[in-house]
Structure formats: C-alpha cells, structure tokens
Structure 1
Amino acid sequence: MLLVLFLAITYVLFCVDKKDMSMLYVMLSNYLEFHLHMTILIGIIVMFSVRYYMKRVSRNVYLVNFACYKPPASQMCSKQQFMDISRRPGAFREESLAFQKKVLERSGIGEKTYISEGLHRVPAEVSTREARKEAEKAMFGAIDELLSKVKNVKVSDIGILVLNCSMFNPAPSLSSAIVNRYKLRSGILSYNLGGMGCSAGNISIDLAKHLSQVHSNYYALVINLECNNENWYRGNDRSMLVSNCIFRLGGAAILLSSCPVDEFSSKYQLTHTVRTHKGADDLAYNSVVQQEDDDNMVGVKLSKQLIAVAGDAIKTNITTLGPLVLPVSEQLVFLATMLARKVLKMKINPYVPDFKKAIEHFMIHAGGPAVLDAVEKNLMITEWHMEPSRMTLYRFGNTSSCSIWYQLAYAEAKGRIRKGDRVWQIAFGSGFKCSSCVWRALKNVDPALEISPWMDEIDDFPVRVSKAQVFE
C-alpha cells in the first residue's frame, strides 16, 4: 500500500506537467465541494478502522525466546550426598533422617539435581550472603544465555522487568540487582514479586502481558527464580522437612514483546492467561505456610490437605480455561451432561472434556509425583503428555516457578514443538493459587539450533520412574 502511494506521488510530482496539474487540482476541488460530507465521513471511518486494527494487533503478546539456568556440576547433589549433608552433627534426629530418606526414595527425583553451593561446604553455610550469591548466579546465568539467543535485542530495548522469587526477598531487591548488572534504562517498569509460591511464574507472565499491551514500544523481561540456601530447614518437624527434600536450584529468563513486527522472529504467541485464587478459604490459605516450629526454627510447612487443596484449585482453573480453548463439540457435551445431572437429576458420571483436542503439550508444574498422577488421571492424558513434567522433576527436582520452562525446553529438545501447536503451562502454589498460560507455536522449533539445559543429555531421556517412588 505504501509503495503504491509513493509511486503515485512520484508520478504526480515528476511526470505530470503544470497544465495537467492544474486540471487535477480543479477536479479535486470540485469533487470535494460536492462530496465534502461524504469525504469527511469516509476519512473518519478509515481513521477509526485503522486505530481499531492497530489496537487489536497490539494486544497480541509474543514470546521472543527463553532460557533456563543449568548450574555447574560442582553443585550437583545425589540422594546419598543429600543424606550426608543432613547427617552432619547438630542438625537432625535419627527419626528425621529416616523420614527424609523415605521421602527421597518416593519423590520421583533423580541423582543429578542441584542445591546451593553453600550447602556443599563443611560446615554448611546458610546465610543471606550465600542466598544472594545463589540468586545472582541463577538469574544472571539465565539472562546471559537469553541475550545470547536474541542478539538483535539490546538491553536498552527492555522497558519492563518482572521478577518473582517467593522465599528470598532482600534489599535492594533482586530486580534492582538486574537493573544494576545490565545497566537497564532509568525509566524501566520494575516489579519484584515475593511470597507467591510456585504459581508465580505464570502470574509474572500475566503481569508482563498487561504491561506490554500498554507499553508496546519496549520488551518485557520476566525472571522466574527460587532460592534454597537461606530457607534450608534445620529442625525436625516432618511437615517442614519435605520441602528440603524436593526443592532444588533453578532459574528461567523469558523475553516478551507486543510489537507486531516481532511476531515473525518469536517462538510463541500468548493466547490465554487464567488465574485462580483460593485464599478466601482458610484450609487452602493454610496449606503452605512459612513459620517457626516448636524449636523456633523457620521452615515451610506443608499440610496433609495439600493434595486435596491443589486438586480443587486446579479444577476451578481448568473450568475457567475450558470454554476459552475447548472446541464447541466438547463444550456442548459437557453442558448437556451437567444439565442432565443438575436439572434432570440423572445418575450419570460427570463428563470430563478431552483437552487433548485443544492442547498438544501439557506443562504441569513438577511439584511432586502425587500431584502429577492426579492431574494425569483427571485430565485423561497420556504418559507421553506427562513426560516433560516427570522428566523435569527427575532431572532438576522441584524448581518452583521455573519448572514449567524446563519442561518446555525438554519438549523443544525432543523436537516435539511444531508450528501451530498449543502449549498449556499450569502451576499451583501457596496462597493457594493456580495459574495457567496457553501459548501457540509460531514456528517449528529445531532442537539442533537450540541451547537448553537438556542439549547434552536429551538422548538419555525418558527414564522409567517407578510408581513405588510416589510420595504420599
């Protein structure tokens, strides 16, 4: 369109003589004199149409690229190493050690997960200094790798920064540490989310989405992070010991854009975000709590009702997401079944929609095997769909909010992501909250061209994880 207009103007200016120009001017004046109102009306319609179109286009949010941090081998921690650390003098009683060993055996976690560098030392160093060092290594490592993937993006182009780290919130904030390290612009919109649990990754994406739709001239950098060092529990309350056994070190960096031109260079388009908060219910609110035990040791207490609470939150979230993604046929069957049960009082089982008709890839937060098994059963998905979640839990442990990105990296490394595929990331955590993000792949992802934490070992997976390892 612009090229045609440019050629037309050029022709008028250089290829038409003055006499023809005068005639053209007279004809245009006569037309406007008799059709002025129609011309103004058409101009207004065109203006509003362009504005409406641009507004719709600018609402699209794209995932340009992402990166996951892979700690050095020196921070790797096998189950035996974990137990050796726990057996150091002055820490746990024998019954607590036996309980931790039992949890590890049934956790679904493998032998190559990572823990804080300070915990490997003798004696273990648990401090704010070590926690900050751990956080900086993870977030800077992920950001450096991300920037190496998007070489056409400069740090000066980043105008939005959203970081989430649930358990470690020092001053200055971790988001300020990023601004300082990369010398980001002084007008950057910076947010540091704390205390929001394992679902905070999707919450950060949702926040960045809304900010990007308003400030479309800048890229949005999202950091998912969790720190274990300062939150290493040193007491003997069983409900608090579980978090020591399953949480591990990890971090992810994600770059978003709402600029239409970035659609052609991005991997995914964000299609839906759904957030569910069950905090009004006391049972849900108290299912995951950071507090002191009877010996005044700080830890994260997981209640026995956690699985039930998580199931309820996931159910509510799925019910909200379903109408947005499911085909009409599935929605009609679900509605008909519900009316038959509620109105006609028919004794039939509730209809569970087939989400496989709407979603190709399921990235379920790797919180633990019991939750993964429950989600697999309720959604009626296959072991193939659950593979990224289970393998991420096995290889990296529960990396909190960033586990869903290790899972997406796994699917990419396996060459599973094809253009048009839909990816559903669902996470849940303290509060109690459940959040979902649905992405649509904009291109085939070639694993040979990707840098990821799986690239050197993807051929070793999947591995068989026995059902005997499930922790109840």
Structure 2
Amino acid sequence: MAPVVRGLGIANPPLYVSQSEAFEFYSSHFTLGTDEKALYRRLLLDGPIRGRYVGMDRKEDACDTDPDRLNARFLKYARRTAAAAAAKALDEARLCAADIGGLVVNTCTGYLCPGLTSYVSEDLALGHGVRTLDIAGMGCGAALPNLEAAAGLLALDGEKPVLSIAVEMCSATLFMGADPMLIVSNSIFGDGAAAAILQRDGAGGGLVRVLDFASGVYPSYRGQLQYRQEGGRLRNVLGLKVPHIGARTAHEVLRRLLERRRITHDAVKWWAVHAGGTAVLDQIERELGLDPRALRFSLDVFQTYGNMSSASVLFVLKRIIEEGRPCGGDLGVLLSFGAGFSAFAVLVEFL
C-alpha cells in the first residue's frame, strides 16, 4: 500500500540577509580582487535571488573559519530549524510527538556523532521507542531517498507515522577564495529545513500519495559536485557541467520510473524540481521538453530562499500544494540530484 504524506512543514533560521547586504558585507570584510568583486556583483546584485536565511547569530559570524565553532554553529541551527519544520508538519497533520514511530534526518553540511536524530528526537520529545536513521553524504538530492527510507520504516511497522526531515546549514560551509565556484557557492546557497510526515494510506487525511521511487548513481561525474575537506572545513566543488549532468541523469532516472509505472510524460501535471539555480532549471526544462511555466514554483523558491540544498525540493512541493492547488488525482514528479553523482525521482498523486 502506497504511503501518504499527511503533513509538510518548512522552516528557516531567523537571520535574513538580502543579496545587496551580502555584497556589501563581502566587499567590506574581505579583500576581493577585481574579478572576484565583479563576479560577486553580478551574482548578488544582478542575479535572481532576493535574499537568503542563514544559521548565524550575526552576519559577522561569516568571518569565522574555526572548524570547531563552525560545526557547533551547524548543530545549533540545524537542530532548531529541523525541529521547527517538524513542529509545523505535526501541526498540519494534527498529530503529536507521541504519534510518531520513526524519524529519518538527512544533511550534508555538518558531521555529528550521534547524528541529528538524537537531538531532534530529544527536542520533539519523541520518546525512546522511536526508530531513527541518519543519512549523510548525499548532498542536494537527499530529501528523496530520505522519503524512500521513511517509507521503508513505515512498511516495517505501519501503525505509527514516520517523520522525514531534510535540513541544511550551507552557511556553515562558507569558504572564501578567488575560485569562481566558491564565489558562486557563497552567492546562492541558503539554509533551511523541510519535514514530511508519512503514514499508511487509508488512515485519514493527506496531501499526496507516494506511488514510486527511482534513483541512479553516476560515479564518473563525482568530481563535478562534492564537498571536499580542506583545513578541517568543508569546501564546495561546483563544476560548470553540473546543470547538464543533473538534467541528463534526472531525465534517465525519470524515464525508468515512468516506464515502470506505464505512465506517459504528458500525464504528469506538476513538477517539483530541486531549485538548484536558474541554469539548472533551464537545462532541465530543455532536457524534459517542459512548458516554461512548469518549473515556476522551483524558480520562485530559488528566488526567495536561494539554493537550500536537499531541503529545496520539499519547499517546492509545499508551494505547489499551497499556490498551485492541484486537483485530486493529479500526478506529480519530484526530481533532485546531488553528490555521487546521484539523481532521484518520486512519483506522487495529489489528494
């Protein structure tokens, strides 16, 4: 029996920085070369993003390069933001903490042992009997395999719903340097969390029915998109080919999913695609032959929040539900890709 998403919550850390504020800060607090400053100006002042939420007490925290303090900041804001998103999902689902039987959390922007499930289960008072699973190292695509793992936990014991949380504090991986890929990363990534509650179909209520999953891993492209350790810190690697690779691999995974379900491309009415950037969305639109308006919710999320890594795709789904208002029975696809190189697709039916 297909699981149902009963509640969907999103949250961001409280500090909001407009792109113009970010440009002013970088210009005044770091020594930038002429080319660096010109690229920051183009991305921050002339780009589509209006601003981003960041997990910092104050903007000056962006100057801190101490790995221990960065990881402490990651923990502080990741657990708070994840718990806030989860609380909203519980409220929408009209459930309480005692109703939850499983918790799956993914992140790639900080390392903890124990993982975030230990902290989030404590913050939400989920109880000692909750099943937990931490997912790390899957990058921007991880929310969708998280949902699949949550569906697996639900299949083991379908009596209690499972809470699936994607949370990223990309600001904890800010890495200054003249490399254009660093400048792009510092200009587009933001922080956020999204939480979905999965329950058995037929238990009452729900937003979407999760029909099927598909995924693919392409190690030959690993070097195009990854974090690497440098001086005890995470440094983002964002290759120029990422939009093309992401679109091509996502298309391949999607094709397998639709063929398995014997569904035509035209039958899909709603597209929740990872809001990785305008180049990414443009390439996916071309690769899939989509109408220009098909990805408007992804673009809107990118313009409003920046790229929140794995959380982004669920922000898009939330916006589709609230603003697109799909009809019951409409089919939708969630698409994401990330480190690995990996790509993921989920087929859903709106309720």
TM-score, shorter chain, exceeding 0.5: yes
Taking only the aligned residue pairs, the percentage that are identical comes to 21
Aligned residues: 347
> Which of 147, 150, 166 is residue 208 of structure 1 equivalent to?
150
Unaligned runs of 5+ in 2: none
User: Which residue of 2 is the match for residue 120 of structure 1?
Assistant: 59
Instruction: Report the structure, 1 or 2, having the larger strand content.
Output: 2
User: Which residue of 1 is the match for residue 300 of structure 2?
Assistant: 391
Unaligned runs of 5+ in 1: 1-58, 331-354, 443-472
Task: Determine whether 1:167 maps to 2:104.
Answer: no
**Aligned Cα root-mean-square deviation (Å):** 2.2
Cα separation, 1, equivalents of 2:29 and 2:52: 24
Cα separation, 1, equivalents of 2:268 and 2:59: 41
| Contact kept in structure 2, 1:130 and 1:229, CA below 8 Å | no
Cα separation, 2, equivalents of 1:405 and 1:299: 25
Cα separation, 2, equivalents of 1:123 and 1:315: 37
Cα separation, 2, equivalents of 1:269 and 1:291: 37
Cα separation, 1, equivalents of 2:208 and 2:179: 44
SS of structure 1 residue aligned to 2:101: strand
**Inter-CA distance 163–298: structure 2 relative to 1 (3 Å threshold):** closer
Counterpart of 1:288, as a letter, is L
**Inter-CA distance 244–384: structure 2 relative to 1 (3 Å threshold):** same
User: Which residue of 2 is the match for residue 100 of structure 1?
Assistant: 40
**Matching of residues 43-122 of structure 1 within 5 Å:** 59-72=1-14, 75-90=15-30, 92-105=32-45, 107-109=47-49, 111-118=50-57, 120-121=59-60
User: Which residue of 2 is the match for residue 375 of structure 1?
Assistant: 284
**Inter-CA distance 289–157: structure 2 relative to 1 (3 Å threshold):** same
Cα separation, 2, equivalents of 1:157 and 1:107: 44
TM-score by length of 2: 0.91
The structure that has the greater radius of gyration is 1
**Matching of residues 11-410 of structure 1 within 5 Å:** 59-72=1-14, 75-90=15-30, 92-105=32-45, 107-109=47-49, 111-118=50-57, 120-121=59-60, 124-125=63-64, 127-151=70-94, 153-258=95-200, 260-262=201-203, 264-279=204-219, 281=220, 284-291=221-228, 298-327=234-263, 355=265, 357-410=266-319
Q: Deviations over 1:52-73 (max 9, x none)?
A: xxxxxxx32111111111444x
TM-score by length of 1: 0.69
Q: Deviations over 1:216-249 (max 9, x none)?
A: 1221100011112320112222222221111111
Q: Deviations over 1:241-275 (max 9, x none)?
A: 221111111111110012x441x311211101111
Q: CA deviation at 1:92?
A: 4.0
Q: CA deviation at 1:177?
A: 0.3
Q: CA deviation at 1:394?
A: 0.6
**Inter-CA distance 125–212: structure 2 relative to 1 (3 Å threshold):** same
> Could you say which structure has the greater relative contact order, defined with CA pairs below 8 angstroms and 6 or more residues apart?
2
Bigger Cα displacement from structure 2, 194-203 vs 61-70? 61-70
User: Which residue of 2 is the match for residue 342 of structure 1?
Assistant: none
SS of structure 2 residue aligned to 1:385: coil
User: Which residue of 1 is the match for residue 346 of structure 2?
Assistant: 437
Q: CA deviation at 1:202?
A: 0.2
Counterpart of 1:97, as a letter, is K
Q: CA deviation at 1:170?
A: 1.9
SS of structure 2 residue aligned to 1:121: helix
Counterpart of 2:178, as a letter, is N
| Contact kept in structure 2, 1:202 and 1:436, CA below 8 Å | yes
Cα separation, 1, equivalents of 2:277 and 2:206: 32
SS of structure 2 residue aligned to 1:136: helix
Counterpart of 1:130, as a letter, is R
Q: Deviations over 1:90-141 (max 9, x none)?
A: 45444322222223356431x2322232451377456222222221231121
SS of structure 2 residue aligned to 1:301: strand
